[in-house]
Amino acid sequence: MSNNLAQELESSLKSYSIYLEYWDIQSGDTFLMRGEREFLQEHLSDLSEAQQQRMNELDQKVLALLAVDYQLSEEDDDDDLTTLQMIGDRIQGRFVPKSNGKIIKL
């Protein structure tokens, strides 16, 4: 793995962590957190064991946020919650069975 990729992965983990720490249902930037999470998912095999553990811990925080019952009115913009749910779906569906019964890694 190149030095640049290693730095990008570390930066993405840090950004993912910061987005989670300050996440708010009306922040309007959850799509950025999703981008960091997708980048990390694409490079899962390039993460060190410690980085994978950090990512798993952050993923658990996403799932904890999704466990909250957010009371939104019809006027509220739910884009951030929808995007957070998309991240959660990706986390929970990391491995999906193919039609032939074999498991593929997303």
pLDDT digit string, tens, across residues 34-69: 999 999 999 999 999 999 999 999 999 999 999 998
Q: What pTM did the predictor assign? A: 0.80
Q: What would the mean pLDDT of 76-101 be, rounded to a whole number?
A: 75
Asked whether residue 25 carries a pLDDT value surpassing 70, the answer given is yes
Asked whether residue 77 carries a pLDDT value surpassing 90, the answer given is no
Of residues 23 and 105, more confidence is placed in: 23
| Whole-number Å distance between alpha carbons of 49 and 54 | 9
Q: 51 is written with which tokens?
A: 């980085």
Asked whether residue 99 carries a pLDDT value surpassing 70, the answer given is no
* pLDDT confidence tier of residue 94, bands split at 50, 70 and 90: low
What is the span of the domain harbouring residue 99? 3-105
| Whole-number Å distance between alpha carbons of 34 and 84 | 8
Asked whether residue 104 carries a pLDDT value surpassing 70, the answer given is no
- 27 Cβ partners below 8 Å, 6+ apart? 80
**Structural domains of the chain, count:** 1
